[in-house]
Structure 1
Amino acid sequence: MKIAAVQAIPYAIPYRTPLHFASGAVHVADHVLIKITTDDGVVGWADAPPRPYTYGETQKSIVAVVQDVFAPELIGLSVFDREKAQAVMARTIHNECAKGAVDIAMWDCMGQILGQPVSTLLGGYTDHMRVSHMLGFKPAQELLDLALGFREQYGITTFKLKTGRHPVGLDVEAARVLREGLGPEVEIYMDANRGWSANQAAEVLRQIAELGLTFLEEPDDAREVLGRRRLVTQSAIPITADESAPNLGEAAREILTGGANMLAVKTARTGFTESAKVVAFAEAAGVDVYVGNQIDTQVGTVASVVFGAALAHTSRRAGELSNFLDMADDLLAEPLQIRDGAIAVPTVPGAGTQIDPEKLEKYRVD
């Protein structure tokens, strides 16, 4: 049950439909697949998505930190020594996505060794997660047509609208068109990816007040401290911390100092171990959470489903689980299915992230 090898395998899969948003755009999933092998041959998998414009990590930096810094210290530990592994990785600052993927791969190994689904080990609250789909920068009518298509084909009734454009009227128009076209029963929320100033965000909130949107994620840069806190105090809907809360400590800081009153939890950056701590903090503080998306592949999406369905607090809201649909291909051996607006939790031992070796060989770039 000891870790015998830790590998970081870079790969690249193009997107059929690139996603554009305030802090950048994604055209290719140039991710890193993390593979942990135990001394008795059990293999755990996880996906690490670089986001250089958000967290500073690149594909090359993830490979380097995992293979050169983490692996020498992790080899020889039991895969059950999660806190020891967390302590080893915590000595290196930042690198959240690399750390999160290593943690998930360890949990995958643990589940297989114990013969249990990881979602059961984490809490086993429910057997599915409702799906929210992210809509990127497009003209308002195109966004509505996309949303109607996803509702018709997959039963999805929750949508995140990527905003943060200039002028802000483009985003207000998109929100109005979506609300009018989808009706009041569909949940819509916004994510500005820090694209506005606090004053611009306040004006958007004023203009969309009657649309019934449920929350606004990262309206401005959290370092705009006074403006951000004014937004949180005055907004009728929750202000969510995402990029400004990439780990437990910063999530606690944003909530306790009034920088946000809701949290996005992403397994791609805090794994399962630290994500559970973030959720426990949020629940104790009376703060809502939802499972966010790092523009994940199916491998990353499985991790989000496994974690989100395990806990009551994360399963209350739809998770952002569908943007893999825009990819040209994927690495998962058993493709995910969205039915009636939800994804079922894997019932096999481990995390359910078995990799197709032929596809990995096709897309790896090392």
Structure 2
Amino acid sequence: MKITHLETVPYRIPMKKPLKFASGAVHHIEHVLLRLHTDDGLVGTADIPPRPYTYGETVESVIAVINTVFSDALIGADPLDRATIHSKLHRTIGNQTAKGGVDIALWDLIGQAYSTPVHRLLGGFASSLEVSHMLGFSPTQAVVDEALSFTETYGVRSFKIKVGRRPVSLDVELVAALREALGPDALLYLDANRGWNATEAAQVLTATAELDLRFFEEPNDAAEVLTRRQLVTKSPIPIVADESAPNLGDAAREIQTGGANALSIKTARTGFTESQKILSYAEALGLDVLMGNQIDTQLGSIATVTFGAAFEHSSRYPGEMSNFLDMADDLIASPLEIKDGHIHAPTVPGVGNAVDEDKLTHYRIDR
């Protein structure tokens, strides 16, 4: 099996409502659909979600680096030779979501070639992964209503709360309202997207001490080297590295230097291969991991459940997989279902991310 050619298709789908957070807002998603074609007729697929405000990638840059740089490593290659391919990709720094997408597409080909779900090839630990829903900036009552609706409709009992507003009392009041409405059994955690400084983040930790929060993700910029590490030392709950740890090397740096003591893994930026390395690193050190969300479509959420449910350590906490419900539509051919607060891993060969061709034609923006 050899890769003969590739496709990079940009597309845009509007959000039902903007998803707002400390580092930006998303009014529509602009992603790249990657397809790797082989000489035996198989096609490996991945959804690539560039986030300019987080990683500096754009739709244009993803297409350019894959078509003009990565293509040399891909065309003519056997998808089973993943290590050889990755050694060539890593000569180019950055471009995390482009690299992650290539890896997922390679695994999709391998799963199809062996007529086996990639979830099973990776480990097959659990058949499903519990869902955590991300709550963006909105008036307090609107956020509470959204959370209650997700609990009632989908059985979701875990929520990542986007914070980072000023004054900090706005978010303290929001978190208190959510805890009161959802009760003591809901799993709640914060994500400030680097929106505060360490002093403000410490104030929030003190003010929410009685609200039983589980994690605090990116409370301030990890580049604030001294104050970030002081905050980690004093925090009563784990500080999660997300955008400060977009790959294995950065994750190790943040943990080893005290910039965090838990990690977010996003298959959109580290695929399955590098995600497994990060997971093994975290497990060896006894660190908690969260399966994160890149404001993923259903195609992206399938990758998350495929990986997250494959291992015991990555399935301990709910994965962030429901923000596709904030989107007006999706490219997926077989829509995902959230039932009893869980999404099941695909049981078809490959990753299970087949695309509705009519929808792709409708939403693509290169024609």
Using structure 1 for the length normalisation, give the TM-score: 0.99
Q: Specify the alignment match of 2:221 in structure 1.
A: 221
Q: Specify the alignment match of 1:285 in structure 2.
A: 285
Q: Specify the alignment match of 1:8 in structure 2.
A: 8
Deviation string 1:4-38 (CA, Å, 9 cap, x unpaired) is: 11221100010112100000000111000010111
Contact 1:202 1:231 in 2 (8 A): yes
Alignment of 1:180-195 (within 5 A): 180-195=180-195
Q: Specify the alignment match of 2:247 in structure 1.
A: 247
Q: Which amino acid aligns with 1:14?
A: P
Q: Distance in 2 between matches of 1:259 and 1:180?
A: 31
Q: What is the CA distance between 1:142 and its match in structure 2?
A: 1.1
**Uncovered stretches (5+) of structure 1, i.e. residues with no partner:** none
Contact 1:7 1:66 in 2 (8 A): no
Alignment of 1:273-352 (within 5 A): 273-352=273-352
Alignment of 1:58-73 (within 5 A): 58-73=58-73
Deviation string 1:56-109 (CA, Å, 9 cap, x unpaired) is: 000100010011110122111100011111111101110000000010000000
Q: Distance in 1 between matches of 2:266 and 2:89?
A: 18
Deviation string 1:275-295 (CA, Å, 9 cap, x unpaired) is: 000000000111110100000
Deviation string 1:32-65 (CA, Å, 9 cap, x unpaired) is: 0010111111001101101000000001000100
Q: Percent of counterpart pairs with the same letter? A: 60
Deviation string 1:181-204 (CA, Å, 9 cap, x unpaired) is: 110000100000000001110010
Q: Distance in 1 between matches of 2:41 and 2:314?
A: 33
Q: Specify the alignment match of 1:153 in structure 2.
A: 153
Contact 1:74 1:88 in 2 (8 A): no
Contact 1:305 1:345 in 2 (8 A): yes
Does 2:161 match 1:144? no
Q: Specify the alignment match of 2:201 in structure 1.
A: 201
Q: Distance in 2 between matches of 1:192 and 1:236?
A: 17
Q: Which amino acid aligns with 2:281?
A: F
Instruction: Describe the SS at the equivalent of 2:93.
Output: coil
Q: Distance in 2 between matches of 1:73 and 1:110?
A: 17
Instruction: Describe the SS at the equivalent of 2:132.
Output: strand
Instruction: Describe the SS at the equivalent of 1:213.
Output: coil
Instruction: Describe the SS at the equivalent of 1:220.
Output: coil
Q: Specify the alignment match of 2:179 in structure 1.
A: 179
Q: Distance in 1 between matches of 2:75 and 2:356?
A: 25
Q: Distance in 2 between matches of 1:87 and 1:18?
A: 38
Deviation string 1:272-328 (CA, Å, 9 cap, x unpaired) is: 000000000000111110100000000001000100000111001000000000111
RMSD: 0.6
Q: Distance in 1 between matches of 2:5 and 2:87?
A: 19
Instruction: Describe the SS at the equivalent of 2:335.
Output: coil
Q: Distance in 1 between matches of 2:176 and 2:286?
A: 30
Q: Distance in 2 between matches of 1:166 and 1:89?
A: 41
Q: Which amino acid aligns with 2:325?
A: L
Q: Distance in 2 between matches of 1:302 and 1:241?
A: 23
Contact 1:159 1:188 in 2 (8 A): yes
Q: Which amino acid aligns with 2:254?
A: E
Q: Which amino acid aligns with 1:77?
A: A
Instruction: Describe the SS at the equivalent of 2:159.
Output: strand
Q: What is the CA distance between 1:117 and its match in structure 2?
A: 0.2
Instruction: Describe the SS at the equivalent of 2:37.
Output: strand
Deviation string 1:136-157 (CA, Å, 9 cap, x unpaired) is: 0011111111100000000000
Q: Specify the alignment match of 1:232 in structure 2.
A: 232
Q: Which amino acid aligns with 1:47?
A: D
Using structure 2 for the length normalisation, give the TM-score: 0.99
Instruction: Describe the SS at the equivalent of 1:11.
Output: strand
**Uncovered stretches (5+) of structure 2, i.e. residues with no partner:** none
